[in-house]
Structure 1
Amino acid sequence: MNKFKGYNITIAILFLLLFSECSSKKAKANNKIAFADNCVVAHRGAWKKMGFPENSIASLKHAIELKCTGSEFDVRMTADDSLVINHDPHYNNLPIESTAYTDLLKFKLSNGEKLPTLREYVLAGIENNISTRLVCEIKPSEISKERGQIVAAKVVQLVKELKAQDIVVYISFDYDILKKIRTLNPTVSLQYLEGNKSPEQVKADGISGLDCHFSVFKEHPDWIESAKKNNITLNAWTVNDPNDMDWLIANGFDFITTNEPELLKERIKLSPVSNGMKLIWSDEFNTKGLPDSTKWNFEEGGHGWGNGESQYYTSRPENANIQNGILSIKIIKENYKGSSYTSARINTKNKFSFKYGKVEMRAKQPSGGGVWPALWMLGDNKAAVGWPACGEIDIMEYAGNRMNKVTAALHHPDHSGANPDGGYTMITNADTEFHIYTLEWTPSDIKISVDNQHFFVFANSSSIPFNHDFFLIFNCAIGGHYGGAIDPNFSSSNFDIDYVRVFQNK
């Protein structure tokens, strides 16, 4: 009797364990996928910081641990039709498409893993994962277009077999591969990598996203707004520079593919977008030649501008020119219309003005005794009420005679001219490195900073003229009461501006 009792207890325990395991699997299967609320896609997994091999299961697992919204990987097919994960067409100098998988297995990844199959990779990717998309790049075949179509069909079938359709999205440089996948799965997310088709074109062909090198979007900035209007998802690759990250975050990209997921997550935290703000206006200076005339006006003349300055402002490309994503306002020593120097001054008057928000500008100062660059704002009611009643916000002023000293000032009827409210800070390498100059403007206060460090805070109120629309002004003067004595050996110098962005609360 006792033996049977013990036997029954053992059976009961085994049954409970089996029931528990089945229940756990069922629970996992029923878990609703809620992808991480960020734009971070780890390129070939999160491999760089930890030293994992690219496209390894270890790098995939780490991307999931980081809760990236996506982890990208590359699929190729071997000579014996095995679907494997590898970016390059060769693995250990063996051409994947003409080599059997058993021969590829002779060589390990640097962390000891074997070259993973797609089945192994997807199974690892769906285990304990409800936050990270598996971004599957199907590589075009080097053998034939038809083989690429076959690979696509096999990948889709395997993903379906593994019940991973809800977590896998597809990307490819081969447009026909994506169109083939669309016929096999009408609802799956597809993103095109090449960058030679507009949002309207991909939408017409049933492709749901553009996933282009970030430079493509700088060359076609209109695609960003067009994609949003057409409900086309935006992804950019491979973005490792924090300045490029900031630009894409500010422009509301759905996904950003990077080798630096940890860095990208930090940049997201610092972005105004993460604090409930929206980009309402910007100039990234990604065109060539003169500044965009739909955004900027030139102010011309050489009358000293009320400050005893020595330059003549022109609208020539010699004094204001965009190249390689940088607007250079160049001050030149030359005789021009009665002045000994030329430069440029541009503004957004009657083209863009705003009340309250955050302004970010990334700039590098000119050098030389007497130079006087400024990034500033005037109330757009100046013509009606005059200065200083309109108000003036100097976000950044700099003088070459006071190297590395950056000042900010507010001019209004109680404090103007040589007696504004203001402050200053010292920075390093002002004329050899770019720095970020920021204004945060609300009904209650005005804060000005350099490189995210506040150095001037002022209490705003209804009694002073900082509660109406202002427009932007960029210029570089020389001499005058602020610029001071001009170095007799000065010949020319550039005031370089990388971008200006204006954010407001949503």
Structure 2
Amino acid sequence: MKQILLPAAMLMVLLSSFGLSATAQKKSRILFAKNPIVAHRGAFKKNQLPENSIASLRHAIQLKCTGSEFDIQMTSDDSLVINHDPHYNKLMIEETTYAELIKTPLSNGERLPTLREYTLAGLKGNTTTRLVFEIKPSKISKERAQLVAERVVRLVHQLGAAPMAVYISFDYDVCKKVKALDPQAHVQYLNGDKSPEEIKADGLDGVDYHYSVFQKHPDWIAQAKKNHIALNAWTVNTVTEMDWLLANGFEFITTNEPELLAERLQQTPPAKGWRLVWSDEFDGTGLPDDSKWNYDVGGNGWGNRELQYYTRADSNNAVVKNGKLIITARKEQREQNSYTSARLVTKGKGDWQYGRVEVSAKLPSGKGTWPAIWMLPTNGKYGGWPASGEIDIMEHVGYNPDTVYSSVHTKTFNHVKGTQKTKGLLLGTADAGFHLYAIEWTKNGISFFVDDQPFFSFRNSGKGAAEWPFDQPFHLLLNIAMGGNWGGKYGVDENLDTAIMEVEYVRVFQK
């Protein structure tokens, strides 16, 4: 069939004849779900439904997701069909007729749906879930992709679906074509190579990128908000990424796990009134971000007869790779010390008075190791240690690998006197997997959590700074010590050449 591209003005005239007044009437009855959940290819995974099936779409609507995404291809006889891949049952969709494609049903018995069938199913009984039309690029030609865009927009208006529609595409020209055809349409770009300012300049409405793009360009998050460009990320299926996006206030999160994301919406810090003020997701490569981290340096025993020399900006001891900060203690001589290691300290804006501090980490193993996630006062308002306080979010000693500890130290309560306030938690997988270590610190007390479960708290007694010096800014430290009064209580494994602590992220929230 010969492909005819209609001029935009002519198509807009055609669109006006397809019930736009009806869509305007429908718009007042729509109240989209107030959550960021966009079901990717419908809500298919939990109930093992076919992706992009009408059943998966209906389930997304039943879950009241704010959106359900689906993929549009065009057959050789110009039928618009719903399928993610360019091929179906080993047949290239653009080179195969619809009659040939539907000879093979989906795994639940449905036939491969047309866009008309899918859209009508999405409209039925639905006033909460956006229909997210992804127009796939054509492998035949750019002109064919433009034709698909025209036909999709025309059909959306024919069916009265415009108030429910969001358009997305990896083809930037398709995005601009849709906007030219329908200036009221909400259009988001998928490919991740345009800044929010470029998107705004071209009149589009949203950046809908893989979450890693935003981790590499965190400034784009603020840029999008400043320019009123919608923020969407795909395809987000793990708690770590979900929590990060929720903490950063993303309007939409596209996921194969809508049920899991719904759970996280109830459990994350923003749901409890916390606002992200500082974070490091460790998404670069090389040395830690020097705008966020400094180093304590030296090997003087650090008041605890420790055996390591802390280095400065040495990738042998502190490096970012594969989305994690890797702190490594190494058995090597440095001055009078038999180990090197790293002790990272937050800098610049990295000190806070009150808040929720989260660190996701996997701890080292081996007798003699002493990793810590802890906080010290920035200005020492009440004098030197321990008068101005210390908050140990997590400490671990290798000779007791199944337990992590949390403590506070003050002038009245400290380990020199044997009066420190501390508690251990049995956690047999501390060195085998990642756990979330956190505190929630207010003027009334400090609560300690492991994997969001509270296990220890220290309350403000109201008796003054000797017991409660925690009314001043503190900064965060991450390190591995070797040996020392506590870590080396039962010696150090002479065969231990390296000890590694991995950190997935650090996030700080305030009310």
TM-score by length of 1: 0.92
Instruction: Give a deviation string over 1:223-252, Cα, whole Å, max 9, x none.
Output: 222222222211111111222222222222
Matched to 1:337, the amino acid is E
Aligned match of 1:221: 218
- Tell me, yes or no, if structure 1 residue 504 matches structure 2 residue 510: yes
Query: Would the aligned equivalents of 1:296 and 1:351 in 2 still touch at CA under 8 Å?
Result: no
4+ residue segments displaced more than 6 Å: 25-28
Query: Would the aligned equivalents of 1:294 and 1:351 in 2 still touch at CA under 8 Å?
Result: no
SS in 1 for 2:351: coil
Aligned match of 1:100: 97
The 3 A distance-change label for structure 1 pair 401 and 338 is same
Query: Would the aligned equivalents of 1:380 and 1:390 in 2 still touch at CA under 8 Å?
Result: no
1:384 positional shift: 6.5
Aligned match of 2:368: 370
Tell me how far apart the structure 1 counterparts of residues 437 and 335 of structure 2 sit (CA, whole Å).
33
Aligned match of 1:338: 336
1:466 to 450, 466, 470: 470
SS in 2 for 1:59: helix
1:107 positional shift: 2.3
- Tell me, yes or no, if structure 1 residue 478 matches structure 2 residue 475: no
Query: Would the aligned equivalents of 1:285 and 1:499 in 2 still touch at CA under 8 Å?
Result: yes
The 3 A distance-change label for structure 1 pair 384 and 135 is same
Matched to 1:430, the amino acid is A
Tell me how far apart the structure 2 counterparts of residues 427 and 346 of structure 1 sit (CA, whole Å).
25
Tell me how far apart the structure 2 counterparts of residues 97 and 341 of structure 1 sit (CA, whole Å).
63
Matched to 1:345, the amino acid is R
**Number of aligned residues:** 481
Tell me how far apart the structure 1 counterparts of residues 370 and 498 of structure 2 sit (CA, whole Å).
13
Q: Which segments of 5 or more consecutive residues in structure 1 lack a partner in the other structure?
A: 1-24
Query: Would the aligned equivalents of 2:292 and 2:348 in 1 still touch at CA under 8 Å?
Result: no
The structure whose Rg is larger is 1
2:345 to 341, 344, 347: 347
Aligned match of 2:421: 421
Aligned match of 1:18: none
Tell me how far apart the structure 2 counterparts of residues 489 and 478 of structure 1 sit (CA, whole Å).
13
Q: Which segments of 5 or more consecutive residues in structure 2 lack a partner in the other structure?
A: 1-21
1:188 positional shift: 1.4
1:37 positional shift: 1.3
- Tell me, yes or no, if structure 1 residue 359 matches structure 2 residue 352: no
Matched to 2:500, the amino acid is N
Query: Would the aligned equivalents of 1:363 and 1:435 in 2 still touch at CA under 8 Å?
Result: yes
Matched to 2:499, the amino acid is S
**Does 63-72 or 220-229 show the bigger shift?**
220-229
1:497 positional shift: 0.9
1:42 positional shift: 0.6
Matched to 1:475, the amino acid is N
**Does 295-304 or 227-236 show the bigger shift?**
227-236
Aligned match of 1:401: 399
Instruction: Give a deviation string over 1:79-103, Cα, whole Å, max 9, x none.
Output: 2222111111122222222222222
SS in 1 for 2:175: helix
- Tell me, yes or no, if structure 1 residue 80 matches structure 2 residue 86: no
Aligned match of 2:316: 318
1:26 positional shift: 11
Matched to 2:339, the amino acid is Y
1:350 positional shift: 4.6
- Tell me, yes or no, if structure 1 residue 161 matches structure 2 residue 165: no
Q: What is the root-mean-square deviation in Å for CA atoms of aligned residues? A: 1.8
**Does 222-231 or 124-133 show the bigger shift?**
222-231
1:27 positional shift: 13
Tell me how far apart the structure 1 counterparts of residues 291 and 126 of structure 2 sit (CA, whole Å).
48
Matched to 1:460, the amino acid is N
The 3 A distance-change label for structure 1 pair 148 and 349 is closer
- Tell me, yes or no, if structure 1 residue 232 matches structure 2 residue 229: yes
1:150 to 147, 152, 157: 147
2:48 to 46, 51, 55: 51
Query: Would the aligned equivalents of 1:349 and 1:380 in 2 still touch at CA under 8 Å?
Result: no
- Tell me, yes or no, if structure 1 residue 301 matches structure 2 residue 298: yes
